[in-house]
Chain A
């Protein structure tokens, strides 16, 4: 099951010590540029650049990255196929009158549109993965507080974050116990096993919740949660690198203008 989590990779990645704001600027900036760009080339450029950063700078191994990258790509391909078939246009390559008043067609415009959307997805996705793999949640909490998100929300998020891992641990243990006793062997059996797994996980989390309150009380809980406030210093090299990346990408966005594939 899910033994290796994104969060674990993020905690160990090569860019862990780089200032959080810089990483977020690079990631969010890249997403914005992907959205602004009117050509399919700029998002591709961004995707290539960030993929390089993830593989070389953050030292994430290729297999993990590829798995992460290709999983959602399947959905993107289906939607793009839909776009290509439904979008109309004057320059028709292929057409099929399915029903009166409704036809599927492939046109120059639809292909351009499809490729454009697909590249945007790739660009945006690489930016998302870049953030997910280089910035652990614990660092994002600091940013959230700086952004004046209400304390209650952040405290809740932190407790949830911590609890998720405990719950996952428990679920894995229960799951293994079930598999060892031949749970999930048939379809019916797997339905039943899954239901008991859910039930057991619920009870375990309820228990853990009560213990949590006790543990907090035992340590004088008074509505306050400490936060590791220190952010990594802004170093010159990473700063320059992010700026170069964003400027270069902007330049590509402008230069490629509205270039289309066909």
Chain B
């Protein structure tokens, strides 16, 4: 287990002349964790989040960052805020400058980076969120999702270790929400600790490593999502709902279907549960192949060649750059979120699929498929679409 990065010890906070928002909370967050703070409106989620980067100071108790108590002098706060990036709920309130470039450059400039360094940080951050070429655009001309991305890029440009999001998907359409969640996954994969607040249970359930249920300024329940959200009493108290998949699983269980394995967090997990129940998965002899194409390598020709040979395969893209790549190359995408799971589902049906993704995510595909293979005993071959044709021939990236 990795070390603790943020810790709260019995903190409480009362707004000036207002109600007590936090009433004695203790918890810790480890490095590279994905944490979802879930609770109804007014539970104190947003207040708790603003404690993380020292925007407000707890009345009692202490906050620790990297095992050091947070100090509230200007110099220490600057360091803290560089390391704990905060993305507000309303991007309009976060975007300050008249152009995208200037806004993303705001943090780095104030951190005293030199002009070329600022430029590099901005380019990198915009590339990350898939907004290359938006530098000169004024924010008021962007769509809600794009504004959100600008706000995220503005924080990413400071290269924080911890990213705190207040309602990251509020006001976005479903596909936009999935895109943002995917982006959060991508960032997490690069080693960032991510904390979000939300009251969207369906969103938090498959995503989070750990869920913290809050109510009335207190922590109601803190556990892995299937336990936290599986506690009917806690969920009801917190004015939330049980995630559909979990509820389905519980209902099936009640009716005497003995579902094996862990509780399902995705449709794929659910399918696995059901298939093992009816022992159908063993009937199918051959699984389809998943081919992974790294768009960071120069694979344009190879890819079009491959596509012309494999007509009608399902194609998914993971990561913003991969999606952009697909758009530029006019590749029709069947999946834009939950890509690996959907491709595994295809493979289980014996169909071929292709995943377009970026360098940092290639490994993740193999890992996820491996993990699934171990659990279910299904062996799904994963091929890399690489420049050298020798390697292309059935390089099996999965458990035999």
* Same complex origin of A and B: yes
User: Which A positions have Cβ atoms within 8 angstroms of B?
Assistant: 7-8, 11, 136-138, 141, 158-159, 161-162, 165-166, 169, 208, 211-212, 214-229
A7 to B, closest residue via Cβ: B138
Question: Are A212 and B99 in contact (CB-based, < 8 A)?
Answer: no
Query: Which are the 6 A-B pairs with shortest beta-carbon distances?
Result: A226-B105, A165-B140, A226-B109, A211-B93, A222-B110, A219-B107
Complex interface: stretch among B61-69, B80-88, B298-306, B320-328? B80-88
Most chain B beta-carbon contacts within 10 A, residue among A8, A212, A217, A228: A228
| Chain A residues in 8 Å Cβ range of B88 | 211, 214-215, 218
Per-position binary interface string of chain B over residues 128-143, scored 1 when its CB falls under 8 Å from any chain A CB and 0 otherwise: 0000000111111100
| Chain B residues in 8 Å Cβ range of A141 | 98
> Cβ of B382 < 8 Å from any Cβ of A?
no
**In the bound complex, CA of A118 to CA of B86 (Å):** 56
> Cβ of B232 < 8 Å from any Cβ of A?
no
| Chain B residues in 8 Å Cβ range of A225 | 97, 102, 106, 109
| Chain B residues in 8 Å Cβ range of A229 | 115
User: Please, how many residues of chain B have a CB less than 8 angstroms from a CB on the other chain?
Assistant: 38
User: Which B positions have Cβ atoms within 8 angstroms of A?
Assistant: 53, 55, 78, 81-82, 86, 88, 90, 92-99, 101-102, 105-112, 115, 118, 135-141, 154-155, 158
Using A215-B88, A215-B93, A219-B158 as known contacts, say yes or no to A227 and B138 having CB atoms under 8 A apart.
no
Most chain A beta-carbon contacts within 10 A, residue among B55, B93, B99: B99
Question: Are A226 and B140 in contact (CB-based, < 8 A)?
Answer: no
Question: Are A220 and B95 in contact (CB-based, < 8 A)?
Answer: no
**In the bound complex, CA of A219 to CA of B97 (Å):** 13
**In the bound complex, CA of A27 to CA of B58 (Å):** 57
Question: Are A228 and B82 in contact (CB-based, < 8 A)?
Answer: no
Residue in A159, A218, A220, A228 whose CB lies within 8 Å of B111 = A220
Question: Are A219 and B98 in contact (CB-based, < 8 A)?
Answer: no
Please give the distance in Å from B311's CB to the nearest CB on chain A.
39
Residue in B92, B102, B136, B141 whose CB lies within 8 Å of A158 = B102
Question: Are B140 and A169 in contact (CB-based, < 8 A)?
Answer: yes
Question: Are A219 and B155 in contact (CB-based, < 8 A)?
Answer: yes
Given A158-B97, A228-B135, 20 other A-B residues pairs in contact with their CB atoms under 8 A: A8-B141, A11-B137, A137-B98, A162-B140, A169-B92, A169-B140, A212-B93, A212-B96, A214-B88, A218-B53, A218-B55, A219-B106, A219-B107, A220-B78, A220-B111, A220-B158, A222-B111, A222-B112, A225-B109, A229-B115
| Chain A residues in 8 Å Cβ range of B94 | 215
| Chain A residues in 8 Å Cβ range of B53 | 218
Question: Are A158 and B108 in contact (CB-based, < 8 A)?
Answer: no
Question: Are B81 and A228 in contact (CB-based, < 8 A)?
Answer: no
Question: Are A228 and B110 in contact (CB-based, < 8 A)?
Answer: no
**In the bound complex, CA of A220 to CA of B155 (Å):** 10
Question: Are A218 and B81 in contact (CB-based, < 8 A)?
Answer: yes
| Chain B residues in 8 Å Cβ range of A219 | 81, 106-107, 110, 154-155, 158
| Chain B residues in 8 Å Cβ range of A222 | 78, 110-112
Question: Are B82 and A220 in contact (CB-based, < 8 A)?
Answer: yes
Residue in B55, B108, B137, B158 whose CB lies within 8 Å of A226 = B108
**In the bound complex, CA of A166 to CA of B98 (Å):** 11
**In the bound complex, CA of A211 to CA of B90 (Å):** 10
